[in-house]
Amino acid sequence: MYNSKITGLGYYVPDNVVTNDDLSKIMDTNDQWIQERTGIQERRHIVQGEDTTTSMGVKAAKIAIERSGLTTDDIDFVVFATLSPDYYFPGPGVLVQKELGLRTVGALDVRNQCSGFLYALSVADQFIKTGMYKNVLIIGSEIHSRGLDMTTRGRNVSVIFGDGAGAAVLSRTEDNTKGVLSTHLHSEGEHAEELALVTPGMGTRWVTDIINANDPEDISYFPHMNGQYVFKHAVVRFSEVINEGLQANRLTVADIDMLVPHQANLRISQFIQQKFKLTDDQVFNNIQKYGNTTAASIPIALTEAWEQGKIKEGDTVVLAAFGSGFTWASAVIKW
């Protein structure tokens, strides 16, 4: 019986820092308004022509592979999580295979938005545990800045999201006391349109249909979020899926050395921290610097926590996410 463990982590964010004060110059908002509602102080936006979803993922992946002590020849499979692929098709997984010069390995694209990285981790974990693959590259990468309504009309959403990428190498181990202990995945499509890019009453349309309409009042190609509704569901599902992971491994809240939640909103993370009575040293947040980077948020935060020495060998690490779909997930890892 094989187990899987994270052997390498890496992340990449664009150099272009966009502060709350920067946003206040192009929309009716201010630093206090944004921080009170989200905890965000700044985020990164790409410079068009310099970064793509794939290129950011590749940069993060190179760091993760180097830190794993492996080479690209050792990678058996790629799982790429994103809601912002370079093309409608093909997905970015195959582009990573090309850019990294990997062997003709399989490449899978995951479209589970904020839960995307944990869904990807779960898929990779199962492939390794069944003996099919030995080393799987997992990437979460997002470009939000090119698809946001950067006006006062869209401020409730546009101030939240940022661009970036994170990656992990998951490798086979025969030590069943270390690595990914369990993953837990859920969905509830009943609430799909509460956080979505949707065109009401029109069915499925290609984005070219919308652009060609050339209607400046048509905002259907911008994301919609029912913020309060999402918040209420998030705090419930976060709690449930964290407890599910702990119970599956006969652990308690006291066993958590580090909780890395999806960086959706600092207020959600703080609510969960207070509910579980965790200390500041037991929860890692970096949404203040990067905003919500969706599928990239957990691998970016996990990498930073590890780089800062806040995750050590033998620690019990819990990852948890909630987002569009609704989907939610958790993973329990013995480092």
Number of CB atoms found within 10 A of residue 265's CB: 22
The residue from 3, 20, 45, 114 that is catalytic is: 114
Q: Which residues make Cβ contacts (< 8 Å) with residue 192, sequence separation at least 6?
A: 198, 324, 325, 326
Q: Which residues make Cβ contacts (< 8 Å) with residue 30, sequence separation at least 6?
A: 20, 21, 24
Helix (H), strand (E) at residue 19: strand 17-19
Q: Is 118:185 a contact under the CB 8 Å cutoff? A: yes
Known active-site residue 249? no
Known active-site residue 262? yes
Q: How far apart are CA 62 and CA 138, in angstroms?
A: 12
The helix/strand/coil state of 160 is: coil
Burial level of 173, CB count in 10 A (0-12/13-18/19+)? Answer: middle
Walk across the sheet containing 179-187 and list its strands: 179-187, 327-334, 316-323, 258-261
The helix/strand/coil state of 114 is: helix
Give me the long-range contacts of 23-30 (CB less than 8 A, separation at least 24). Answer: 23/150, 23/155, 23/158, 23/159, 26/150, 26/151, 27/150, 27/151, 27/152, 27/154, 27/155, 27/158, 28/152, 28/155, 29/152, 29/155, 29/159
Name the packing angle between helices 266-276 and 227-248 (round to 10°): 40
Q: What are phi and psi of 36, to 5 degrees?
A: -65, -35
The residue from 20, 262, 265, 286 that is catalytic is: 262
The helix/strand/coil state of 283 is: strand
Known active-site residue 184? no
Distances, alpha carbon 115 to alpha carbons 62, 74, 188, 224, 318, in Å: 23, 27, 13, 18, 14
The catalytic residue positions are: 114, 262, 292
